[in-house]
Amino acid sequence: MTPDTTKNSPLFKPTLILHGGAGNLHKSTLPPPLYKAYEASLLAYLRETHSLLQSGSTALDAATHAVTLMEDDPLFNCARGSVFTSAGTIEMEASVMVSSLLPPSSSCSSQEPIKRGAGVMGLTNIRHPILAAKESLLRTGDGNDGGSMHSQLVGSFVESKAQEWGLEVMPDEWFWTRRRWEEHRRGLEGKVEPVSFSQGTVGCVCLDKWGGIAVATSTGGMTNKWPGRIGDTPTLG
């Protein structure tokens, strides 16, 4: 069914789910000030993203926007707040998946062929890895629908493509945070921190008023992971 966008009332109620880190993020596992900081950030990002959906944003645009907010917040293990590898470097990953790439006003009777997801990995200087995943979904492959030839991209090539696509690049020091560096150093000394170890991989799920669903997720991976490790965040399937 093709949505009739001329109607005032939406076919679906815009809805979203936002999470600020897969793991044991709870009042009992975090110092009170840190827990309050997480809560305040997430509530602000939730309100902003919900406003986008209410104003007519697609699920893909809203979900990726929510993740960019967390990628800029050093509280979260993604982009600017990413953890370090065992070599003291940062390698970021992200992916998106959608129920449809067809615009709400499309008159196409079939949604195929269509690429439903895209992942990027091994990024070092792209400010928003989630936008690299989004652009990969929309731009690579044959045809205007996004195609299905490049569902996963890695390393320096995708970094250069992201710059061609107009995505912002930041210097190494922009991603450096004392909190993550100290976690890295303690980890190398053999001091295991189960609370910090389990906190990462942010994400957002959105349903827009046309019934489109999108999922966006981004991570810096595990503290002191081997360089070159690819986790489940950018892996489709």
The residues carrying an active-site annotation are 201
Sheet arrangement for strand 92-98: 15-19, 202-207, 213-219, 92-98, 117-123, 152-154
Taking a C-beta distance cutoff of 8 angstroms, is the pair 200, 222 a contact?
yes
Per the structure block, which two tokens stand in for 206? Answer: 């959105």
Under a CB-based contact definition with an 8 Å cutoff, are residues 158 and 132 in contact?
Answer: yes
Beta bridge partners of 215: 97, 205
Q: What is the DSSP letter of 76?
A: S
Handedness of CA 231, 18, 200, 29 (dihedral sign): negative
Q: In this structure, what token pair is assigned to residue 217?
A: 């997720």
Give the angle subtended at the CA of 221 by the CAs of 216 and 224, to the nearest 5°.
170
Find the largest Cα–Cα distance for the chain: 62
CB-CB contact of 74 with 80 (8 Å): yes
C-alpha 188/C-alpha 79 separation (Å) is 22
Cis peptide before 113 (omega within 30 of 0): yes
